[in-house]
């Protein structure tokens, strides 16, 4: 049995769906809701909804912004989550992580704080044709601001970016480690 077959054999989709309250909905004449736009907004499992609800009911305060008990509790929860995530991804320390509200915000932070200062007029910003809209617009806007050009490249069936090693591009993009 292949690895993917073994994983699929032990995968209980009904159990996973049960963790997500929104997926209990029916639509279009009592058909189960199927949600495939996770690149835009991911649905939340009940444990996340409960944790957020508990936070707002019992500990709602700014993180690292005050010395009162609620702020201290909120800060401890935040830093605890950050430490757990650092361990989960095997980061050297939690200080290596920048937590954002989502991928779109993180992409914008990288585009504007890292790439924009390094782009020059005439440079190219390369993205694949398979990118979600939220992973095109930040690069497009940063490119326009710097006088660079956004270039969309095809991806292989394996979704790799082999075109990067054979496609001419301007520094600093070509100097990035691959």
Question: Which span out of 35-44, 82-91, 93-102, 150-159 was modeled with the highest average pLDDT?
Answer: 82-91
Confidence of residue 60 (pLDDT cuts 50, 70, 90): very high
Question: pTM of the full predicted structure?
Answer: 0.66
For residue 157, pLDDT over 90 is answered with no
Q: How would you write the chain as a 3-class SS string?
A: CCHHHHHHHCCCHHHHHHCCHHHHCEECCCEECCCCCCCCCCCCCHHHHHHHHHHHHHCCCCCCCCCCHHHHHHHHHHHHHHHHHHHHCCCCCHHHCCCCCCHHHHHHHHHHHHHHHHCCCCCEEEEECCCCHHHCHHHHHHHHHHCCEEEEECCCCCCCCCHHHHCCCCCCHHHCCC
Residue 166: pLDDT band (50, 70, 90) is low
pLDDT on residue 59: 94
> What pLDDT is recorded for position 41?
86
């Amino acid at each position: 049995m292949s690895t993917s077959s073994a994983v699929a054999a032990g995968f209980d989709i009904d159990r996973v769906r049960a963790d997500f309250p929104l997926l209990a909905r029916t639509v279009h004449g009592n058909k189960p809701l199927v949600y495939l736009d996770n690149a835009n907004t991911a649905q939340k499992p009940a444990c996340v909804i409960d944790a957020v609800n508990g936070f707002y009911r019992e500990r709602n305060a700014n993180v690292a912004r005050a010395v009162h008990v609620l702020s201290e509790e909120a800060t401890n929860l935040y830093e605890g989550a950050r430490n757990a995530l650092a361990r989960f991804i095997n980061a050297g320390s939690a200080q290596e992580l920048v937590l954002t509200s989502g991928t779109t915000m993180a992409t914008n932070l990288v585009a504007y704080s890292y790439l924009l200062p390094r782009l020059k007029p005439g440079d190219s910003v390369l993205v694949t044709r398979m990118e979600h809209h939220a992973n095109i617009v930040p690069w497009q806007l940063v490119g326009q601001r710097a006088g660079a050009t956004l270039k969309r490249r095809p991806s292989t069936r394996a979704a790799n970016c082999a075109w990067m090693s054979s496609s001419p591009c301007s520094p600093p993009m070509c100097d990035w480690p691959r």
